[in-house]
Amino acid sequence: MTFSVQDVSVSYPTSRGWVQAVRNVDLQIRPGELVGLAGESGSGKSTLVLAATRVLKAPAVSVTGRVEIMGQDVFAWSDKELRAQRWQTFSFVTQSAMNALNPVMRVRAQMHDAMRAHDPHYQKAKADKRCEEVLRIVEVPAAKLDSYPHQLSGGQRQRMVIALALLLQPQLVIMDEPTTALDVVAQREIIALIRRLQRELGFAVLLITHDLSLLLEVADAVTVMYGGRVMESGRSHELLRKASHPYSRALIHSFPPLHGAMQRQEGIPGTPPDMLNPPLGCPFAARCVMATKECGEQMPPLTRYGDRLVACHHVSEQDFQGAGVIV
């Protein structure tokens, strides 16, 4: 496993008590995979990833559970070890490329900064060569190395941030909404680029987004979060064909289709739960068409059915029989 999250919970302290932003989440990424983490704002997807990689740490948050990157226990690393692992083993691509790049530094200087901080064998001449290499990889002319961020287009900036993440050849790249600020054509270019680089360089990607229709098309596996919990996870083509959890099913039907027959679709009524006073049972119960009394009182456990994990009282072994999911 490149990245393994086991039973992780994250809470924030606030003046009104602890907010349980993430509860009992499991997530696995194998080498070279593209795994999607889907969820609405406030579902805890960014919190999970930031806490699991120790970007968020005590006393700002309280984290329980176990996280492994390339088989090593992340929470056991000393600060020095963590610094050495960052960028070498795993790196980040953040949401807004405009804010991720320093506006008053040339791109080349920012790349050198990252290498000086994280590469024990840093040499100026070698680093310059590496900069040109990564720019070739992300298909930006090498001359742009000496540009300031404002001189680049949105798509180019996003490519620069990806180039920055690939500098030290990490095994895992975590991308938090890398394409939301871009329009559809640029978004498609970036996703196609990421997929091609993964094939060539073999790194794994955790792609965080609210765009489930994009994930179902391009990701190998998808985890759907809601109210801080995993609702369902599985291989994306199976999930698209037969989502089991009422939430993932409703989410898939929240996207009008691009082709084929058009009919009036219902969205999901209601609003996401207040995480300060999380519901006792399933967080989706208040908006769920299948909800029963049990759902409001008790959180269903995340249960494994073959490749699939589902947390719902109304899903059982029988739902997967004959569907070819359990082998």
Partner 1 sequence: MSAELQAGRHGAPLVIDQVHKRFTQGRRVAHILRGCSLTIGAGEIVALVGESGSGKSTLARTIMKLYTPDEGKLLFGSEDVTHAKGKALRQYRERVQMVFQDPFASLNPAHSIRTILRRSLPPSARHYSERQREDLFDEVLTQVGLTPASNFLQQFPHELSGGQRQRVALARSLAGRPDLVLADEPVSMLDVSLRLGVLNLMLSLNERFGIGYLYITHDLASARYVASRIAVMYAGEIVEEGPAEAIVEEAKHPYTQLLVQAAPDPDRRGLQELDESVFTGEPPDLSREIQGCPFQFRCPHVMEKCYESSPPLKDLGNGQKVKCFLAE
216 binds partner 1 (CB under 8 A): yes
- For position 155 contacting partner 1 by CB under 8 A, the verdict is yes
- Taking CB under 8 A as the criterion, the residue among 109, 218, 291, 323 binding partner 1 is 218
Q: Tell me the chain's radius of gyration from C-alpha atoms.
A: 21
- Distance CA(153)–CA(55), nearest Å, equals 29
Furthest-apart CA pair in the chain: how many Å? 67
Q: Is the peptide bond before 300 cis (omega within 30 degrees of 0)?
A: no
**Residues 58-97, interacting with partner 1 (CB under 8 A):** none
Burial zone of 32 (CB within 10 Å; 0-12 exposed, 13-18 middle, 19+ buried): middle
From the CB of 279, what's the least distance to partner 1, in Å? 16
The residue type of 31 is P
Nearer to partner 1, 66 or 237 (CB): 237
CB of residue 218 vs partner 1: minimum separation in angstroms? 6
Sorted by sequence, the CB contacts under 8 Å of residue 252 that are 6+ apart come out as: 212, 213, 216, 240, 243
Token pair 């073999």: residue: 202
Q: Which of 214, 225, 295, 311 binds partner 1 (CB under 8 A)?
A: 214
Stretch that binds partner 1, among 51-59, 70-78, 149-157, 293-301 (CB under 8 A): 149-157
Alpha-carbon span 270 to 288, nearest angstrom: 9
When the beta carbons of 154 and 306 are compared against partner 1, the nearer one is 154
What is d(CA 269, CA 57) in angstroms, rounded to the nearest whole number? 35
Nearer to partner 1, 13 or 256 (CB): 256
Give the contact letters, 31-50, x = binds to partner 1 (CB under 8 A), - = no. ---------xx---------
Minimum distance from CB of 143 to partner 1 (Å)?
A: 16
Residue 240: Cβ-neighbour burial (10 angstroms; 0-12, 13-18, 19+): middle
* Crossing angle of the two packed helices 107-118 and 124-137, in degrees rounded to 10: 120
Q: How far is the CB of 42 from partner 1 (least distance, A)?
A: 8
CB 226 to partner 1: min, Å: 9
Between 115 and 175, CB nearer to partner 1: 175
d(CA 317, CA 220): 23
Draw the binding track, 239-278, toward partner 1 (x: CB under 8 A; -: no contact): -x---------xxx-xxxxxxx-x-xxxxxx-xx------
Compute the distance between CA of residue 28 and CA of residue 26 in angstroms, rounded to an integer. Answer: 7
Q: Does position 235 bind partner 1 by CB under 8 A?
A: no
| Residue count, binding to partner 1 (CB under 8 A) | 46
SS3 195: helix
The residues that bridge with 223 in the sheet, in sequence order, are 37, 233
Q: Which of residues 93-122 bind partner 1 (CB under 8 A)?
A: none
Kind and range of the H or E run holding 305:
strand 303-305
Q: Does 26 bind partner 1 (CB under 8 A)?
A: no
- Binding to partner 1 (CB under 8 A) within 181-210 occurs at 182-189, 191-192, 195, 210
Smallest gap from Cβ 251 to partner 1, in A, equals 6
Q: What residues make contact with partner 1 under the rule CB under 8 A?
A: 40-41, 153-155, 182-189, 191-192, 195, 210-214, 216-218, 237, 240, 250-252, 254-260, 262, 264-269, 271-272, 287
